[in-house]
Amino acid sequence: MPVATVGIGSNLDEPAANCRQAVCLLQQAKDFHVLQVSSLYRTEPVGGPLQPWFVNGVVRIQTALGPTEVLKALKSIEAHMGRAPAVRWGPRLVDLDLLLYGDCVYEGGGLQVPHPRLTERRFVLIPLLEVDPDGKHPETGVPFAAYLAALGTAQQVEKLREDAACGI
């Protein structure tokens, strides 16, 4: 079965608790088997309006669903948690992004995999490398570590002491 990589983020209410709840809901989803969960990171917002810092992490799941079905399931979890449509790159209760779907390169139905801004975001690459240290971009073959090194340290990312474990 394919392994999908999901980015998790939140910057409203209790962001770390929101991320942990999202991990719990992924673990409870009948079509997903959670393989790995990264640490949580406090991260500086990138783009969008002035807003609170985020908490971000990455989860790797095994699933028989295709990429568009995974996206639908992620959007369902967001809705279940209370996310409402809002300003692009604005504050959010929870954000679940399909970052990778195995080595698949896919575009259609409003979905692009790998995520089009994956290589531009330290808040994605750092937790991604924690769960997949040898990972490479499916289109370019370039290691994710090389993308991270090229970004420098302009985007602040701080590892939190609390983890994203669900505890169920």
pLDDT of 87 above 60? no
The residue among 164 and 51 whose pLDDT is bigger is: 51
What whole-number percentage of the chain has pLDDT above 70?
Answer: 92
- Of 83, 117, 132, 161, which is the active-site residue? 83
Q: What is the pLDDT of residue 85?
A: 67
- Of 42, 60, 88, 97, which is the active-site residue? 97
- Of 20, 60, 95, 121, which is the active-site residue? 95
Cβ distance 96 to 78 under 8 Å? Answer: yes
pTM of the predicted structure, to 2 decimals: 0.93
Long-range contacts formed by 64-68: CB under 8 A, 24+ apart:
64/1, 64/2, 64/31, 65/31, 67/4, 67/98, 67/101, 67/104, 67/106, 67/111, 67/113, 68/108, 68/109, 68/111
Domains of the chain: 3-163 (3.30.70.560)
Q: Does 83 participate in catalysis according to the annotation?
A: yes
For residue 166 the two structure tokens come to: 């669900």
Cβ distance 135 to 128 under 8 Å? Answer: yes
Report d(CA 41, CA 37) in Å as an integer.
Answer: 12
**Stretch among 17-21, 32-36, 69-73, 162-166 having the lowest mean pLDDT:** 162-166
Q: Does 92 participate in catalysis according to the annotation?
A: yes
- Of 92, 103, 117, 122, which is the active-site residue? 92
Confidence of residue 93 (pLDDT cuts 50, 70, 90): confident
Sign of torsion over alpha carbons 151, 46, 129, 7: negative
Backbone phi, psi, residue 13, to 5° = 55, -115
Q: What is the pLDDT of residue 82?
A: 82
Q: What is the pLDDT of residues 56-76, one digit of tens each?
A: 999 999 999 999 999 999 999
What whole-number percentage of the chain has pLDDT above 90?
Answer: 77
pLDDT of 94 above 50? yes
Q: What is the pLDDT of residues 110-165, one digit of tens each?
A: 899 999 999 999 999 999 999 999 999 999 999 999 999 999 888 899 999 876 66
